[in-house]
A and B are shown apart, each in its own frame.
Chain A
């Protein structure tokens, strides 16, 4: 399952690369809509899989990730927003990159788009021919959700 791969690689990335322990994971296999947190990034996966992957962070969680990425260096106020967007993009890029080789039915020639950031949006609603699978991941620094919006025929 795509969601299993995303959860596993997220766990590995946050615990091993970022040093952030996971406290709980809640799966949602069938969501009509995706409720977004304060900071969101999205990547399109092309090829036979053809889906969108969305990662969404609470602010304290993203702040912790920025701290880890910056390795103790201060962030200039004028760069703060771009750094946050950069970090959300890098996190989703890394998790997708690690997950793709483990996706079932991925076929050959899988491509990924550059990440895009979504600001000031509260939810994404699915189309009738798509399915949203999602996991809410709880840490000491707040929560994040990782989700895939997949065409139904890909799941057959």
Chain B
């Protein structure tokens, strides 16, 4: 089960993602309406995955990604975006986001991106298993 932080200024989108995340058997550990809130909550809950809106009042998603990556270079952040925001998606990826999901959000799309994070986790854990100890040498 992954711990997920949802960042979006739209209540309807936060509700929609929460419903899907819980249906998929993961836990929503926090919700933020702004980039600044996201940074504060991230520090406290250390989620496995963040879904991040791009356009938000006060601090946008791209700036929030930069701040979170500064705090945790291994942060897994997925941008939630509309068609027509391709330039901003590219900026987000350059800032450290690991992927993006186009609206409208569906169970299948969210399951797919979460699956990708799971796979990466599985690989990370597997790499740890393969590390040789001094005794092995």
Q: Judge if B56 is at the interface, Cβ distance under 8 Å.
A: yes
Given contacts A109-B87, A114-B55, are A94 and B82 in contact (CB under 8 A)?
yes
Interface contacts (Cβ under 8 Å), in number, total 60
Please tell me if the beta carbons of A89 and B83 are within 8 angstroms of each other in the complex: no
Binds A, one of B4-12, B40-48, B67-75: B4-12
Q: Report whether over half of chain A's contact residues are helix, strand or loop; otherwise say mixed.
A: helix
A-facing residues in B34-90 (Cβ within 8 Å): 55-57, 81-85, 87-88
> When each residue 76-112 of chain B gets 1 if its CB lies under 8 Å from chain A and 0 otherwise, what string results?
0000011111011000000000000001100000000
Residues of A within 8 A of B104 (CB): 17, 94
Please tell me if the beta carbons of A86 and B11 are within 8 angstroms of each other in the complex: yes
Q: Give the size of the chain B interface in residues (CB under 8 angstroms).
A: 20
Please tell me if the beta carbons of B82 and A96 are within 8 angstroms of each other in the complex: yes
Q: Judge if A25 is at the interface, Cβ distance under 8 Å.
A: no
Q: Judge if B28 is at the interface, Cβ distance under 8 Å.
A: no
Q: Judge if B16 is at the interface, Cβ distance under 8 Å.
A: yes
Determine how close the nearest CB of chain B comes to the CB of A151; give it in whole angstroms: 20
> When each residue 113-131 of chain B gets 1 if its CB lies under 8 Å from chain A and 0 otherwise, what string results?
0000000000000000000
Residues of B within 8 A of A113 (CB): 55
Please tell me if the beta carbons of B55 and A110 are within 8 angstroms of each other in the complex: no
Binds B, one of A98-106, A118-126, A129-137: A98-106
Please tell me if the beta carbons of B55 and A94 are within 8 angstroms of each other in the complex: no
Q: Judge if A97 is at the interface, Cβ distance under 8 Å.
A: yes
Name the interface size band of chain A: 20 to 34
Residue of B with least CB distance to A43 = B55
Q: What separation, in Å, do the CA atoms of A46 and B11 have in the docked complex? A: 25
Q: Judge if B2 is at the interface, Cβ distance under 8 Å.
A: no
Please tell me if the beta carbons of A112 and B85 are within 8 angstroms of each other in the complex: yes
Residues of B within 8 A of A86 (CB): 10-13
Q: What separation, in Å, do the CA atoms of A113 and B9 have in the docked complex? A: 13
Please tell me if the beta carbons of A111 and B9 are within 8 angstroms of each other in the complex: no
Return the contact of A90 from the options B10, B83, B84 (Cβ within 8 A). Answer: B10
Residues of A within 8 A of B82 (CB): 93-94, 96-98
Given contacts A111-B88, A112-B55, A114-B56, are A98 and B12 in contact (CB under 8 A)?
no
Please tell me if the beta carbons of B84 and A112 are within 8 angstroms of each other in the complex: yes
Residues of B within 8 A of A82 (CB): 11
Task: Give 8 pairs: A residue, B residue, CB < 8 Å, sorted on A.
Answer: A17-B104, A69-B12, A86-B13, A94-B103, A94-B104, A98-B82, A112-B84, A113-B55
Shortest Cβ-Cβ A-B pairs, 4 listed = A97-B82, A100-B84, A86-B12, A97-B83
**Known contacts A73-B15, A89-B10, A101-B83, then 13 further A-B pairs from the complex at CB < 8 Å, ordered by chain A residue:** A70-B15, A71-B19, A83-B12, A86-B10, A86-B11, A86-B12, A93-B82, A93-B103, A97-B85, A108-B87, A111-B88, A112-B84, A114-B55
